[in-house]
C-alpha cells in the first residue's frame, strides 16, 4: 500500500463544476433500488432478513473491536500532543456553540426523540448481557444500554472519520473533499478511476440507506401522533404530506446555505430538543429522572468493556446483532457524510476540539435527552400508569409514544411541540446530508466554497424518495434496518482505511515534533501569521511505501 505525500494546493483550484457522470449513475442506481422495493415488497423483505442475519453474524466481532479502538483513539487525540494540530489557518468560521450544534444535527436525527422515549422498553423486553427479561436488573440496564448505543461508540466513529477527512483537507491540502479523494490519498487508487468512482457511488447510496431509517421512523411516529392529536385518519396520504413538508423545510434551509440556513436551523433544533428534555425533567418525576440518569451513566461506565465486546458466544448473539452491531453500522452509514461536513465547517479548529466536540458534546447531549425522556417512561411503568414495554411489544413504538405524550400535562400542547422539534430536527439532519452529497458531486470545490444551491436542492428532493417508497409499500423496520447494514459494509472497510491513513499521516508529519512546537505552530496558525505546512514541502520522499 502507498501513501501519497503529494497534494493539490488550494490556490490552484479551477472553477467548480457538477460531476454529471456521478450524479446520473447514482440517480439510476437509486431509482433501480426504489423500483425493486416497490415491485417486489414481499421478496425484498425475505431477502433482507436473510442478508441481515448473514452480515451481522460474519462481522459482529470485527465491528465491535474497531469501534472500541475508535473510542480509545479519539480519547488519545484529546489528551496527546497531536490534539493541538490546527486544521488550516485563521480564526474558526463558526462560533463554538453553533459549531457543536451543527455536529449534533449532522450526527443525530429526529429518530433521537423516538428512541429517547421507547428504546429502554425494547431492552427491558429483550435485554443484553444475558440478563433475564423484564427483571429489575433488565430495567436498570435498559437506560445504560441506551446511553451506550447513543454515546461514545457512535460519536467516536464520527470523530475518527471527521478528523481524518479534516486533516486530509486542511493540513495535507488535498482539494477533493470526498470519500474517494481521501481513499486515493491513502491507497493511491485514483479518485477519478474505476475504484474511486465506485466509492463515490457507494457513498451516495449508503447515505440514502442511513437516512431511510430516520425518515421512516420519524414519519410514522409523526403521523400516528398527529392523527391522535387532530382526529384525522393515519393514511399514506398523511404520511406522504409529512415527508413533503419535511422535504420543503430542509430544501429551503439547504438552498439558503450553511451560515444562513443550517447554522440557524441547528441552533433552533438543539435548543428545542434540550428544552423538551428540560420540560419533562421539570414537569415529570424530577427526582426519579435524576437518580435514574446518574445510575444509568454509572452502569454504562462500569460495564462499558463488557457491552463493547459482548458477542454472546454460547448463545445466538441476537441482541448484539440486532442492536449494537446495527447501531454501529447505522453510525458507519452516516460517517462519510458527517466526515465531509466536519471538514467543511472546522477550518481553524484543532484536532482535540473536533474530537471533544463530537465525542463529549455529542454523547453528553444524548445522555441528557435520553435520561429525561426515558426516565419519564420508566416512572410511568413503575407506578402502574402505562405499561410501555407491553405497548411496544404489541402495537409498536409509535403507539407507545402517543400514549406517553397523552399522559403529559397539557398533552395537546406537549404533543404539538414534540412534533415540531422532531420535524425541524430531521430537516436539519437531512440538510447536512444533502450538503455533503452535493459537495461529493461537485468537482474542484475549494475550501470555503459551497456547492451549487440548485444541486443541494436536487439532492434534498432525491433524499425523500426512498423512504417514501418504503412507507408506501409498508415495508417492515427490519427491511429498512437491513438496507443500512448492506450499504454500510463497504464503508466499514473504507473507514478502517481512512483511520489507518490518518494515523500514518500523524506519524509522518509530527512524530519528531515536540508538543510545545506543535502548540506554537497552532497559535501562529490561529493568528494567520503563516501558512500550514503542506504535504509537498515535507522533508520526506514524495511517496512513502508502507
Residue holding cell 465506485? Answer: 198
Q: CA–CA separation, 517 vs 512, rounded Å?
A: 10
Distance of CA 23 to the CA centre of its chain: 23
Q: DSSP strand E in 293-332: where?
A: none
Residue 162 to residues 270, 302, 349, Cα–Cα distance (Å): 20, 28, 12
The band of 4, judged by pLDDT with boundaries at 50, 70 and 90, is very low
Q: What is the pLDDT of residue 180?
A: 86
Q: Give yes or no for residue 372 having a pLDDT over 90.
A: yes
Closest CA to 181 of 440, 433, 492: 440
Q: What is the pLDDT of residue 480?
A: 64
pLDDT, mean of residues 111-116: 80
Q: Give yes or no for residue 5 having a pLDDT over 70.
A: no
Q: Give yes or no for residue 79 having a pLDDT over 60.
A: yes
Residue 51 to residues 54, 200, 317, 482, Cα–Cα distance (Å): 5, 23, 16, 7
Q: Which three cell numbers stand for residue 71?
A: 473510542
Q: CA–CA separation, 544 vs 546, rounded Å?
A: 6
DSSP per-residue string spanning 418-442: HHHHHHHHHHHHHHHHHHHHHHHTE
Q: Give yes or no for residue 12 having a pLDDT over 60.
A: no
Q: What is the pLDDT of residue 55?
A: 81
End-to-end CA distance of the chain: 6
- According to DSSP, the β-strands at 17-18 and 2-4 are unpaired
Comparing 538 with 230, which gets the higher pLDDT?
A: 230
Q: Which three cell numbers stand for residue 54?
A: 448473514
Query: pLDDT (tens digit, 9 = 90+) per residue, 315-347?
Result: 888 899 889 998 998 888 888 888 888 888 888
Cα angle: 54, vertex 58, 64; to 5 degrees: 125
Query: pLDDT (tens digit, 9 = 90+) per residue, 24-36?
Result: 887 787 777 767 7
Residue holding cell 473507514? Answer: 495
The band of 387, judged by pLDDT with boundaries at 50, 70 and 90, is very high
Phi, psi of 36, deg, nearest 5: -60, -40
- According to DSSP, the β-strands at 442-443 and 17-18 are antiparallel
Q: What is the pLDDT of residue 497?
A: 94
Q: Give yes or no for residue 505 having a pLDDT over 60.
A: yes
- 17 DSSP β-pair partners: 443
Q: CA–CA separation, 205 vs 486, rounded Å?
A: 10
Other C-beta atoms closer than 10 Å to the C-beta of 372 total 25
Other C-beta atoms closer than 10 Å to the C-beta of 41 total 18
Closest CA to 164 of 504, 392, 393: 504
CA contacts within 13 A on the Cβ side of 333: 26
Q: Give yes or no for residue 21 having a pLDDT over 50.
A: yes
Q: Determine the 3-state secondary structure of 175 from DSSP.
A: coil
The band of 535, judged by pLDDT with boundaries at 50, 70 and 90, is very low
Lowest mean pLDDT among 95-104, 279-288, 315-324, 494-503: 95-104
Q: Give yes or no for residue 207 having a pLDDT over 80.
A: no
Q: Which three cell numbers stand for residue 521?
A: 505552530
Q: Please answer whether residues 242 and 222 qualify as being in contact, where contact means their C-beta atoms are separated by less than 8 angstroms.
A: yes
The band of 536, judged by pLDDT with boundaries at 50, 70 and 90, is very low
pLDDT, mean of residues 211-222: 74
Q: CA–CA separation, 185 vs 170, rounded Å?
A: 13
Phi, psi of 127, deg, nearest 5: -75, 160
Closest CA to 405 of 287, 246, 240, 228: 228
The band of 495, judged by pLDDT with boundaries at 50, 70 and 90, is very high
Q: What is the pLDDT of residue 11?
A: 39
Provide the whole-model pTM: 0.83
Share of the chain above pLDDT 90, in %: 30
Q: Please answer whether residues 111 and 96 qualify as being in contact, where contact means their C-beta atoms are separated by less than 8 angstroms.
A: no
Q: Give yes or no for residue 109 having a pLDDT over 70.
A: no
DSSP per-residue string spanning 326-357: HHHHHHHHHHHHHHHHHHHH-TT-BHHHHHHI
Q: Which three cell numbers stand for residue 373?
A: 425522556
Q: Determine the 3-state secondary structure of 537 from DSSP.
A: helix
Q: What is the pLDDT of residue 541?
A: 33
Q: CA–CA separation, 175 vs 186, rounded Å?
A: 14
Q: DSSP strand E in 126-239: where?
A: none
Amino acid at each position: 500500500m502507498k501513501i501519497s505525500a503529494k497534494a493539490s494546493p488550494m490556490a490552484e483550484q479551477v472553477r467548480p463544476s457538477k460531476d454529471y457522470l456521478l450524479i446520473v449513475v447514482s440517480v439510476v442506481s437509486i431509482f433501480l433500488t426504489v423500483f425493486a422495493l416497490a415491485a417486489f415488497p414481499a421478496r425484498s423483505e425475505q431477502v433482507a432478513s436473510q442478508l441481515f442475519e448473514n452480515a451481522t453474524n460474519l462481522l459482529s466481532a470485527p465491528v465491535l473491536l474497531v469501534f472500541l479502538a475508535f473510542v480509545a483513539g479519539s480519547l488519545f487525540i484529546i489528551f496527546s500532543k497531536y490534539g493541538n494540530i490546527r486544521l488550516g489557518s485563521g480564526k474558526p468560521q463558526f462560533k463554538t456553540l453553533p459549531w457543536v450544534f451543527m455536529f449534533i444535527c449532522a450526527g443525530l436525527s429526529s429518530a433521537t426523540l423516538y428512541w429517547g422515549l421507547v428504546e429502554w422498553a425494547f431492552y427491558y423486553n429483550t435485554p443484553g448481557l444475558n440478563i433475564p427479561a423484564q427483571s429489575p436488573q433488565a430495567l436498570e440496564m435498559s437506560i445504560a444500554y441506551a446511553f451506550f448505543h447513543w454515546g461514545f461508540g457512535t460519536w467516536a466513529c464520527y470523530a475518527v472519520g471527521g478528523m481524518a477527512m479534516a486533516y486530509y483537507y486542511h493540513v495535507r491540502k488535498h482539494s477533493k473533499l470526498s470519500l474517494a479523494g481521501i481513499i486515493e490519498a491513502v491507497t493511491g487508487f485514483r479518485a477519478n478511476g474505476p475504484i474511486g468512482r465506485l466509492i463515490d457511488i457507494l457513498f451516495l447510496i449508503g447515505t440514502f440507506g442511513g437516512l431511510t431509517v430516520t425518515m421512516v421512523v420519524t414519519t410514522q411516529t409523526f403521523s400516528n401522533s398527529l392523527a391522535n392529536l387532530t382526529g384525522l385518519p393515519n393514511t399514506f396520504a398523511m404520511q406522504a404530506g409529512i415527508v413533503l413538508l419535511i422535504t420543503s423545510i430542509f430544501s429551503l434551509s439547504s438552498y439558503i446555505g450553511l451560515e444562513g440556513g443550517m447554522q440557524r436551523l441547528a441552533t433552533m433544533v438543539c435548543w428545542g430538543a434540550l428544552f423538551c428534555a428540560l420540560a419533562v425533567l421539570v414537569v415529570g418525576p424530577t427526582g426519579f429522572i435524576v437518580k435514574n440518569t446518574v445510575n444509568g451513566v454509572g452502569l454504562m461506565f462500569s460495564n462499558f468493556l463488557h457491552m463493547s465486546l459482548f458477542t454472546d458466544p454460547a448463545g445466538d448473539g441476537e441482541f448484539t446483532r440486532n442492536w449494537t452491531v446495527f447501531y454501529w453500522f447505522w453510525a458507519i452509514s452516516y460517517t462519510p457524510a458527517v466526515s465531509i461536513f466536519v471538514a467543511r465547517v472546522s477550518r481553524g479548529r484543532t484536532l482535540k476540539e473536533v474530537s471533544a466536540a463530537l465525542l463529549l458534546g455529542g454523547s453528553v447531549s444524548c445522555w441528557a435527552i435520553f435520561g429525561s425522556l426515558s426516565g419519564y417512561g420508566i416512572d410511568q411503568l413503575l407506578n402502574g400508569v402505562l405499561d410501555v414495554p407491553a405497548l411496544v411489544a404489541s402495537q409498536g413504538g409509535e403507539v407507545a409514544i402517543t400514549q406517553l405524550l397523552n399522559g403529559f400535562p397539557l398533552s395537546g400542547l406537549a404533543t404539538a411541540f414534540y412534533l415540531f422539534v422532531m420535524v425541524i430536527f430531521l430537516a436539519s439532519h437531512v440538510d447536512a446530508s444533502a450538503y455533503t452529497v452535493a459537495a461529493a458531486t461537485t468537482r474542484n470545490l475549494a475550501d470555503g466554497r459551497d456547492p451549487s444551491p440548485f444541486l443541494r436542492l436536487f439532492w434534498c428532493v432525491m433524499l425523500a424518495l426512498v423512504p417514501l417508497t418504503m412507507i408506501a409499500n409498508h415495508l417492515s423496520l427490519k427491511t429498512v434496518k437491513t438496507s443500512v447494514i448492506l450499504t454500510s459494509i463497504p464503508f466499514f472497510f473504507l473507514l478502517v482505511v481512512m483511520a489507518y491513513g490518518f494515523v500514518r499521516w500523524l506519524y509522518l508529519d509530527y512524530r519528531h515534533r515536540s508538543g510545545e512546537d506543535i502548540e506554537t505552530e497552532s497559535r501562529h496558525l490561529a493568528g494567520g501569521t503563516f501558512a500550514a505546512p503542506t504535504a509537498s514541502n515535507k522533508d520526506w520522499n514524495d511517496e512513502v511505501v508502507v
